[in-house]
Structure 1
Amino acid sequence: MTLDPFGHSITDTTQMPKNWGERTGNRLHLKTKKIAIYNLLLFKRNSVYDSYKVQETERLIRSQKYVTAVRITHKLAGVASDSVDVTIRVLDSWSTIPRFSISSNQVSVGFKEKDFLDQVSNWNIVLQIVFMMAQTEMTLLTRFQISRILI
């Protein structure tokens, strides 16, 4: 389960966003897709439970820049069962970074989305206004960068 970055807790399943700011931030946030987390798992469904692989998976997920916290828990599937159910709770991090700069002849406003297209790319959008003696020039700059390709 992937949780939005504001108002949720890894340990308390009842904690919810309390105010307008938290709810708005969560609506604007691009949520991490399940496949991004599944690609990091070192264990598979219906395989033998290995606590070392579970701990390493938790460490690996936690090391991702789009994750604030992670908790992996397990419980017996039934009273007389030899199976366990594994639950993964991931708390997303806020991934949109506003940008602003001003100088004597230029104003730039924009944002950088670190987790565009499920954590494989970065997207920068900047509106740049340059003031010159007799004219004003407005430019929209955008940069899209793929940092890794998942296979």
Structure 2
Amino acid sequence: MNRFHVHLNVADLETSIRFYTALFGAEPTVRKDDYAKWMVDDPRVNFAISSTGRVPGVDHLGIQADSGEALASLGRRLDAAGGALVPEEATVCCYARSDKLWTEDPQGTRWETFHTFGEATTYYEGEAPCATDGANCSPDLRAAKPKVDKGAVCCAPGSGCC
């Protein structure tokens, strides 16, 4: 089963951790100097916060896929929705290793779909396969090279569509 994902930028990480720990009734499952994440089952959500210098507020929304196949299926759904897809393969972000697909909705809200397959020791590592905004490991969707062939099934690991 997939999991809804919300990532907020916060001005004060410790105060925000206290608030969301009380709200969710649980300690973060991941806690770093600049990041915290709760994997909540009721409601089923991957809720993350970070203090990486970006403007406080909603950074992006998303869906965490349980497998590479589920990610490919989400990619086909995003493709059908008509947004430009920006894939990232085997990227390190938010202390995790993941394959990702990024898009924006008609209002400009950034959406991340991803399948995580391992942990990482850093928030962000190296150059992502697609352009990033410099302040976070999410790509600058306006500068990144989207998938061009709308008829091809894209964004499965190894597809090379970036």
TM-score, normalising length: structure 1: 0.23
Q: State which structure, 1 or 2, has the greater radius of gyration over its C-alpha atoms.
A: 1
Higher relative contact order (CA 8 A, sep 6+): 2
TM-score, normalising length: structure 2: 0.22
